[in-house]
Amino acid sequence: MVLQQFTIPHELIDMAGKLSFAKAQQRHKELCEIIEEHRYRYYVLSAPAVSDAEYDDLEQELKTIETSFPELITPDSPTQTVGGDYTTDFAPTPHRNPMYSLDNVFSDEELGGWFERVAKFGFNDIEYLCELKIDGLAISLTYENGVLTTAATRGDGKTGEDVTPNVKSIQGIPHRLTTDSPPEVVEIRGEVFFPTKLFEDFNGELLKSGKPTFANPRNAAAGSLRQKDPRVSASRPLRMIVHGIGNPSDLGLASQSDVYSLLKDWGLPVSPHFKVAVDVTEVRSYIQHFQEMRHSIEHEIDGVVIKVNSFAEQVQMGFTSRAPRWAIAYKYPPEEVTTTLLDIRVSVGRTGRATPYGHMEPVKVSGSVVEMATLHNQEEVERKGILIGDRIILRKAGDVIPEIVGPLIHLRTGKEKKFVMPTQCPECGAPLSAQKVGDVDLRCPNAKTCPAQLRERIIYLASRAVLDIESLGQQGANALLVDKIIDNEADIFSIRELDLLKSDYFTRLEKNEKVITQNAKKMLASLEIAKSKPLWRLLCALSIRHVGPTAAQALAREFQSLEAIRTADEVALAQVEGVGDVIAASLAEWFAVDWHQQIIEKWQKSGVSFEDQSVAPSDSSLSGLVVVITGSLPGYTRDSAEEAITSRGGKCASSVSKKTDFVVIGENAGSKAQKAIDLARPILDASGFEVLLSQGIEAARAVATIGS
């Protein structure tokens, strides 16, 4: 099966048969929110809610809309950013050279389009290096004078997270390169994975010990590598394959295949499956071969990466804002199986959204057993024509929760039943309804006491991306509520050891006396630490609808305290870069609720600080400078670009005025670029931005252009 080119949904077409801007604008906003939520679940929770195929469809739909209306493109759009830029408390580690993501193609026709774009550069006898796309975790290894000093995740492409002790425990990764003349510094790129043959045995051991299991080898690799205790990582059979060097030109190498030879000579683990193809026919043959052989390889793969082999040709082709033009990832079609849909049930999330999901006869697909799949909303069930009891097609590409493609109608027996969306919340009984006219999603309005919403909000605030409360997951959150230790999240920081003794989950018997477990002690310690977390994390922990990490960080930078945010009017809130009218209205609505105020008051009484704890930057090279950033900059997200300014004492403004010192213009810049020209403000491109950061204000003025 091959995924087809995305077509515009009929809902976005107006009466004249044209794509409606108003409808496209609304759908664009929805898609950005949906994609960012899925990225959070994938990168932070390691628990994706949709299949790779469904996620790719969302991105393709977004790209199609932005192609029709380029004015909708913003620097924060998922099409302009790398996905893994969620922070944790692992130390941030800058990459000397950006770790770019890759653009994807899904069919031979799309691959042919990429070959045509390469051909337009006029190279003769192009060679392509083909390698397997490992379904693992991207890692950069830094060796200094041949010694492994740092290992970091990709993060946002510019800055990753330091996981050095954990990576050093991986079998096959040398702590010292096997060469007498190592480079002074070299960054080596690769993928950490969990061998597929060892995965089932590992999961079986977890099951026997009563611990949560992993859904697939990719999640096992990510979860194992992101352990705070390196001894846990060392106990798991992680492996790594390296495939590139951050800046190969520094080593005088001519091609990607030269890199493979050098990496092997240095004692690093390289894949035996790469191939240099002399033409597109050989590339296609390589793709076909490994599509047929994908389950015979030691690690999971979800496609093939094709790179122009010559570095000289790569340099001429260059990069877009987030990906190299000289490389492409050909993604294999997702696998499909059939199973029986036993039931359709409904879950309720932390914001009250009621989501139908399929409960299926367990079936093994892409290396893991699956029995649940999201169905998003009641309209999705109707659109796909699914009945309870149907034999269904299940499509999955190594994900936790796969996609139900549709029913096998010819196998129906007449005993199948139509799904009816409940009118009441399945957990608290409150009436479900749309929040506003036109909403497809139904929500439970009982935010204060609905067990499902309470449980999900506690799980969210405890997650690594928010407050990072150790040992407080789904089971712990459920125990806190069921055993009446807390009424809601307002009590979370008031928990004491004596309270936990009421719960079997948090206790054990020691010499016939009930004591709290080590995990319970870790939870209490983490809660104490969380009281002094940065303001933006605490703001996220309040579960205000639409307020994710990006908006929370922007609000914290602008207002410095929760009280200042609470008392600001909607106009002031909306003017903050990255906030806007929707988030401003959501903030105002949240603060207007009495029991929300009680959460804040109880947290403060327990010692939570809602003041910005940041200190003045040690680097004041840009002190007093006012900078506006518009468009996408290679290697930066919007947050990391602004952080680069503010960490040096500068200020990032949301609009261009005569007081603006520099306007940094990246790819797909908006109206601010024209405003800079109209007001004759100094303009910097991506390279000028790097000059500003590394050499200072005067050097940047020397390379800036002046609008007129």
264 is catalytic: no
**CA torsion 687→692→696→700, rounded to 10°?**
70
What DSSP string runs through 626-681?
A: EEEEESB-TT--HHHHHHHHHTTT-EE-SS--TT-SEEEE-BT--HHHHHHHHTT-
DSSP state of 494: G
First and final C-alpha spacing in the chain: 54
Helix (H) or strand (E) holding 613: none
Using alpha carbons, select from 158, 323, 321 the residue that is nearest to residue 666: 321
Longest dimension (CA), the chain: 82
Measured CA to CA, the distance from residue 79 to residue 60 in angstroms comes to 9
Which alpha helices (DSSP H) does 101-195 contain, by range? Answer: 108-119, 164-168
- The dihedral built from the CA positions of residue 416, 419, 424 and 428, taken in this order, carries a sign that is positive
Measured CA to CA, the distance from residue 556 to residue 565 in angstroms comes to 8
Measured CA to CA, the distance from residue 420 to residue 436 in angstroms comes to 21
Strands 104-105 and 327-331: parallel
- The dihedral built from the CA positions of residue 211, 217, 222 and 224, taken in this order, carries a sign that is positive
Measured CA to CA, the distance from residue 617 to residue 629 in angstroms comes to 20
Residue 145: CB atoms within 10 A of its CB come to 12
* Residue from 120, 133, 197, 514 carrying the catalytic annotation: 133
Catalytic residues: 133
